[in-house]
Amino acid sequence: MVFSADALSSALLDNDWTGFLLKQGVPFLSPEFILILTLLLIIVLSLFSVGKTENKPENAINSPVVSLLASNSWNLAMGGTVLALLTVIAHYFLFFFNHFDVGYSVLYGMFKADLLSVASRTFLLVGFIIVLLMSKRYVATFMAKQASEFFAILLTAFTGAMFLCGSIDFVSAFVSLETLGISSYLLVGYLRNNQQSTEASLKYLVYGGASSALFLFGLALLYGLMGGSTSLETLPLALNSGVKELSAWLPIALVLVMAGVGFKISAAPFHMWTPDVYEGAPTPVTAFLSVVSKLAAFVFAIRFLLPFAGHVGSVTILVSLLALLSMLVGNTIALKQTNIKRLLAYSTIAHAGYLLLGLTVLQYHSLATVLFYLFTYVFMNLGAFACVLVTSDLLKTETIADMAGLGKAKPMLVAMFSIFLLGLAGMPITAGFFAKLFLFQALVTENPITLGMVLLALVASTVSIYYYLNVIRTMVVAEPSDAVKALMGQTESNAGCALMAGGGTSSLCGSTSMRWAMILSLAGTLLLGVLATPIMTVCDVAMYELIQAGKQLEPESAQPPANVGGVTTSASSTNP
Amino acid sequence: MDWFIQTLWLVPIYPLVAFLLISLGRALPKPLAYDASEGHGHTDASEALPLLAKKEVAFALTSGATLMGLVHAIASIGWLFNQHNGVVAIEKNWQWLQAGDLVLKLGTLLDANTVMMLFVVTFISLFIQIYTHGYMNHDKGYAKFFGYLALFNFSMLGLVLSSNLIQTYMFWELVGVSSYLLIGFWFHKPAAAAASMKAFLVNRVGDFGFLLGILLLLGITFTSGFWHDYLSINPDQALLSFQGFMPMVGALAKGIPAWLLGLIGILVFMGSMAKSAQVPLHTWLPDAMEGPTPISALIHAATMVAAGVYLIARVFPLVAASTDITMPFITIIGVITAIVGATIAVTQTDIKKALAYSTMSQLGFMVTAMGLGAYTAGLFHLFTHAFFKAMLFLGSGSVIHACEGEQDMRKMGGLLKKLPVTGITYLIGTVAISGLFWTSGFWSKDEILAAAAHQHPVIYILLSATAGLTSFYMFRTFFMTFMGTYRGEAHVHKEDPVMTAPLAVLAVPSLLIGVLLSGFAFGLPAFGHYITHGLMSELSHHPHSLLDAMFNKVGNASQMVGLTGLVLAFAVYGMKLINTDTVKRVLAWPYELFRNKWFFDDVYQGLVEGGFMLIAQMSSTFDKVVIDGVVNGVGCITSGTGGLIRRLQTGRIQTYVTVLGLSVLALVVTYQVLMVKG
Rounded to a whole number of angstroms, the distance from the CA of A564 to the nearest CA of chain B is: 26
* Tens digits of residue pLDDT in A361-384: 888 889 999 999 999 999 999 999
pLDDT of res. A164: 94
* Tens digits of residue pLDDT in A80-107: 999 999 999 988 877 776 655 667 788 7
Tell me which residue of A113, A46, A114 sits closest to A74, measured CA to CA: A46
Beta-carbon contacts below 8 Å between A and B: 174
* Confidence tier at A12 by pLDDT (50, 70, 90): low
pLDDT of res. A351: 95
Check pLDDT > 60 for residue A244.
no
Q: Tell me whether residues B653 and A434 touch, CB distance under 8 A.
A: no
Q: Which of A256, A369, A473 sits opposite B664 (nearest CB)?
A: A256
Out of A73-82, A399-408, B199-208, B544-553, least confident range: B544-553
Check pLDDT > 60 for residue B452.
yes
CA distance B315 to B560: 36
B656 touches chain A (CB under 8 A): yes
Mutate to test the interface with B, among A533, A537, A538, A544 (most CBs of B within 10 A): A533
Q: Tell me whether residues B623 and A445 touch, CB distance under 8 A.
A: no
CA distance A148 to A150: 5
pLDDT of res. A128: 95
pLDDT of res. A1: 36
The b/e string for B262-287 (b: 16+ C-beta within 10 A; e otherwise) is bbbbbbbbbbbbbbbbbbbbbbbbbb
> Model-level pTM?
0.83
Q: Is B624 helix (H, G, I), strand (E, B) or coil?
A: helix
CA distance A5 to B451: 79
Q: How many percent of chain B have pLDDT more than 90?
A: 7
Rounded to a whole number of angstroms, the distance from the CA of A203 to the nearest CA of chain B is: 6
CA distance B310 to B303: 10
Closest residue on chain A to B173 (Cα) = A428
**ipTM for the assembly:** 0.78
Q: Across B202-275, where does the E strand assignment appear?
A: none
The Cβ of residue A117 has, within 10 Å, a number of other Cβ atoms equal to 28
CA distance A354 to A376: 13
* Tens digits of residue pLDDT in B614-633: 766 776 676 666 666 666 66
CA distance A451 to A449: 5
Which residues of chain A does B177 touch, with a Cβ-Cβ cutoff of 8 Å?
A: 429
Out of A472-486, B31-45, B67-81, B423-437, least confident range: B31-45
Quick one: how many helices (H) and strands (E) in chain A? 25, 2
Rounded to a whole number of angstroms, the distance from the CA of A450 to the nearest CA of chain B is: 11
* Confidence tier at B635 by pLDDT (50, 70, 90): low
Give me the mean pLDDT over the A501-529 stretch: 75
* Tens digits of residue pLDDT in B329-382: 999 999 999 988 888 888 888 888 889 999 999 999 999 988 888 888 888 888
Q: Which of A251, A272, A369 sits opposite B659 (nearest CB)?
A: A272
The Cβ of residue A435 has, within 10 Å, a number of other Cβ atoms equal to 30
Tell me which residue of B17, B77, B34, B28 sits closest to B53, measured CA to CA: B28
* Tens digits of residue pLDDT in B603-618: 777 776 676 667 667 7
- Name the B residues in 204-243 with CB < 8 Å from any A CB: 204-205, 208, 211-212, 215-216, 218-219, 222-223
pLDDT of res. B52: 66
pLDDT of res. A214: 93
Q: Which of A203, A255, A477 sits opposite B656 (nearest CB)?
A: A203
Give whichever of A34-38, B17-21, B83-87 has the largest mean pLDDT: A34-38
Rounded to a whole number of angstroms, the distance from the CA of B42 to the nearest CA of chain A is: 27
Identify any residues that bridge with B350 across adjacent strands, giving them in sequence order: B408
Rounded to a whole number of angstroms, the distance from the CA of B59 to the nearest CA of chain A is: 24
Give whichever of A121-130, B144-153, B451-460, B528-537 has the largest mean pLDDT: A121-130
Q: So where are chain A's domains?
A: 5-53+62-573
Q: How many percent of chain A have pLDDT more than 70?
A: 81
Q: Tell me whether residues A441 and B102 touch, CB distance under 8 A.
A: yes
Pairing mode of beta strands B90-99, A104-106: unpaired
Q: DSSP string of B488-501?
A: --SPPPPPPHHHHH
Tell me which residue of A315, A374, A360 sits closest to A536, measured CA to CA: A374
Give whichever of A351-365, B472-486, B536-550, B638-652 has the largest mean pLDDT: A351-365
- Mean per-residue pLDDT over chain B, rounded: 79
